Every structure is written in C-alpha cells, then in structure tokens.
Amino acid sequence: MAQEQFDVVVVGGGNAALCAALAAQERGASVLVLERAPEDESGGNSRFTAGAIRFCYNGVEDLKEVMPDLTESEIENTDFGTYTEDQFFDDMFRVTQYRTDPKLVELLVRRSFDTMKWMRGKGVRFVPIYGRQAFKIDGKFKFWGGLTVESVGGGPGLVEYLTDSCRKRGIEIRYSSRATSLIADAKGVHGVTVKNGERMYEVGAGAVVLACGGFQANTEMRTRYMGPGWELAKVRGSRFNTGDGHQMALGIGASSAGNWSGGHAVQWDRNAPEFGDLAVGDQFQKHSYPFGILINATGERFVDEGADFRNYTYAKYGRVVLEQPENFAWQVFDKKVEHLIRDEYRIKQVTKVITNSIEDLAHQLEGVNAERFLSYIKEYNAAVQQGVTFNPNVKDGRGTAGLKVNKTNWANTIDTAPFHGYQVTCGLTFTFGGLRITEDAQVVDVDMVPIRGLYAAGELVGGIFYFNYPGGSGLINGAVFGRIAGHAASAAAGKTATAAQ
C-alpha cells in the first residue's frame, strides 16, 4: 500500500508538466509534481529554450489579450501581421510531410490561442520577439515566419512563472525525485514508485500524467531508435531527459507512435559540451545560416540554406550536418550580412574564424579542403542571381543557378571582407517518437485500448512531429496537451469541481 495518496501525480517539471499540474488543480485535484532534476536544473528542456511560442492570432487585438502590456508605440511601429489557423495547419502538415496525426494537430492548432490566454491567466508574461523574428523595413518592424511571441525571460522565465503559479496554488513540487516505475495492474495505473537519493517509496494516485521529456539524453536509446551516428550528437538541453516516461509506459504495455527515428536537431557549436549548459542556454545554436552558406569538409555546400524561413528548416538541418564527413560544417558569411547575424554568434564560447581575405579564411577553417573551398566560392559567386533584390523579410527568390546544390533565397556573393566562419555540429533538442494518446491525452495500450489512469503530454507524445517542426510549436504543444492531460486526469481521479484560481 502506498504511503501517500494524491488525486494526480505529474512526472516531470517543465512546461508540459507544470501546465498539466495547474490544469488538474483548477479542477479540484490534489496534485504532486515529481521532478527528477535538482531545483537548480529543473524545468527539463523548457528551461533551455528561448521561450518562443507559436499560436494562432488574427491581428493585434488578439495579441493584446496575450500581451496586455503592449504599448501604443509598439503597436504603431510594428506590423504584427496575422497567423491564422489555416496557416498553422498548412505549416504543420507541410513540414511533417503530411504525417502529423490529424486529430491531435486539430487540437494543437484550434486550442493554441485559448491556451496562451489561459497561461497568461496563470501569471505567465509574454512579449514580442523583436530580436529574432522581426526585421525593420522602412522604419517599421515586420514579423515573419508565423512566430511573434516569447515568454518574458525566455525558457528560464517560463519555468519560473509556471513554478510560482503552482506554488501559489498549493501544488507540491518535489525535486531530485525520479519516478522509476508505474504502479499498475489489469485495471490501470494507480501511482508511481519514486527514488529520492537512497530512498525508494510509492505514491498512490487516481491518475498519473507523464510529461518528462524525450529520450535525447539517453545515448543508447537514441542510437537504437534513431540509428548509427546519433551517439555522436550533442544534446542541447537537459541531461535528465533519458526516456524514463517512455520506458515506464512501454513496460506496462503502452503503444508507441510517431517518428522514433526522428528528432528536432539544429546546428550547434562544434565545441559545445555533451549536454546543455544553463549558463549559456540556447546560445550555442547558430540560426543565421539562411543569409550565408554551409561548407563541409570537402569545401563545398551540401544543403539549400535558403529553402525556407529559418523557422521551418532549422529543426531538420542539424541531422544533415551530422551526416557530413566528420559530423561538422562551417557557416560562412561576409560583411554584407554582418548586421543580420544573431547575438548567439557573439558569445565568448563560440568556435569562429574572422579574416580579411577569403584565402586566409579557407586555410583557417579547420578540417576543410582549402583549395576546393576557394574554387567552390568562385563557382558560387558566379551563380548568384544578383539581378534579384535581397530582402531578408520575405522569401525573396534571390537564388543561384547552375550549381549541384542551388540556394533558393537570400543568396549573396561571398566577396567582401571581413569574412566570418562558425563551426557547427548537430545539437539534438528532443526526439519525436513517443507514446500513443487519445484526444484526451490518455495513453493507449498495444491493443489500442486506453490505459485507465495514465496520461501523457509534451515531448514523449508521438505522432505530432515528423522529420521537422515549425519553430515555437514545441512549447505550445506541451502547453495545449499538458492542459488537456491535467483536466482529463483530474476527471479520472473523480474531481470535477472548479478549484479556486
């Protein structure tokens, strides 16, 4: 018999988990949150993000509901545009090659705006992403790529807001507390076994919500499921996301779903540590590549850097870099686009080369065939369609012609000093394969029967992302399904009354 009993136990301590806890509490449930990490490393991958969240809005009036602090000056000097449900659907289906689960994506898209307002009501504050998602055109900021809003303080700020909200509402959070197994029988799930230091104990529950991330920090799992070579990738975020939720659920007969060989993988500094560094956060990422070129060890380009807005390519190009000889590439820029390079390129830990001649650059790009690089740069420069106007705010059609790998947009000649090179490898953010859930976020078993008392949200849910994802959709996915899971878990535990907000 378990020593303690709660209506709902939430496993995990990031965005999805804390949203689930808040949703269960507002329906009257007593809630315990089990966070494997110590408090100073809590929050899972959410803490490592920049806090950008994608959601639908039909104009500035909608944005004012999410950001009531928007000033008249900001509104006057900014073209926020719109991001409709149809646009979100189009993006989700396009980047996942039409494999995303239609029922789950329907919930994700249609509940995105309401969930943002709900989070604002729980105390989370949001601001426009001027620094990374807007360029100033004719004196006015213009947003692009459907991504407009981030949490104040980025990922750490988001975790702090949600944690404070839980504490204010009497939700207990236990740190350094790893759920090791589910307490289950033929009738369903009734709690979890917990390890805290040298102590093991059981906690009973009317329902359990698994929201403890992907398996990206588990070298063996990612190599087994994603394939050879993935043991060589860096991990962008938490060292604690080792697939515990997957293994606990699969161990009692849960069904798997989704793109188990896929993951969100970006270009990441070659010399970054094995796991994420909270002091640096997401600044090891290198996301200005659409305005430059990517060169591998052979001295040539290997991918279309300008295929689409960065929001729609960055999560898949890390895999492409990992597949290159010796698992690295160099991002190369010249003076003409210096002003477009993001702040993350200026951190002291960056692996970079800056020279005043292309010849010097060629010989300082470690691991690159310098002679072939110099030859290729001439070919590339000659192929740039310079008659088309360069415009970083739209897909400008300024590409190349006649190359083996052409660039579709934002092509510029590399011919003006100083020249910049930044060495990158693959940084794995989260894995796409996970558990199969219903529209109520209830985990399904291998016979396609919902498992009584077991729910899931966030990175460990499979079937939503395949191959790629639209930037900012990870956090809204966690929030939407965390909220759904929390409400459903509370109902499963017999709680339907609305608690004090």
Is 60 exceeded by the pLDDT of residue 39?
yes
Q: What pLDDT score does 2 carry? A: 58
Report pLDDT for 194: 98
Q: Which of 83-92, 135-144, 365-374 has the lowest mean pLDDT?
A: 135-144
Residue in 264, 199, 201 with CA at minimum distance from that of residue 234: 264
Residue 97 dihedral angles phi and psi, to the nearest 5°? 55, 40
Question: Is residue 449 packed enough to be buried (19+ CB in 10 Å), middle (13-18) or exposed (0-12)?
Answer: exposed
Q: Which runs of E-coded beta strand occur in 244-316?
A: 256-257, 263-269, 293-295
Q: Say how far apart CA 336 and CA 355 lie, in whole Å.
A: 14
**Model confidence band, residue 96 (pLDDT cutoffs 50, 70, 90):** very high
Q: Calculate what percentage of the chain has a pLDDT beyond 90.
A: 90
Please state, rounded to an integer, the average pLDDT across all residues of the chain.
95
Q: Is the pLDDT of residue 108 over 50?
A: yes
Q: What is the pTM of this model?
A: 0.92
What pLDDT does 139 receive?
77
Q: What domains lie within the chain, and their CATH numbers? A: 4-215+432-492 (3.50.50.60), 265-427 (3.90.700.10)
**Given this model, what pLDDT does residue 500 score?**
44
CA distance linking residue 145 with residue 82, whole number of Å: 10
For range 489-496, the mean pLDDT: 89
Residue carrying structure tokens 């359990």 = 208
Q: In 3-state terms, what secondary structure has residue 285?
A: strand
Residue 391 in this model has a pLDDT that exceeds 70: yes
Two tokens, residue 248: 């606990």
pLDDT in the model for residue 79: 87
Q: Work out the average pLDDT over 454-464.
A: 98
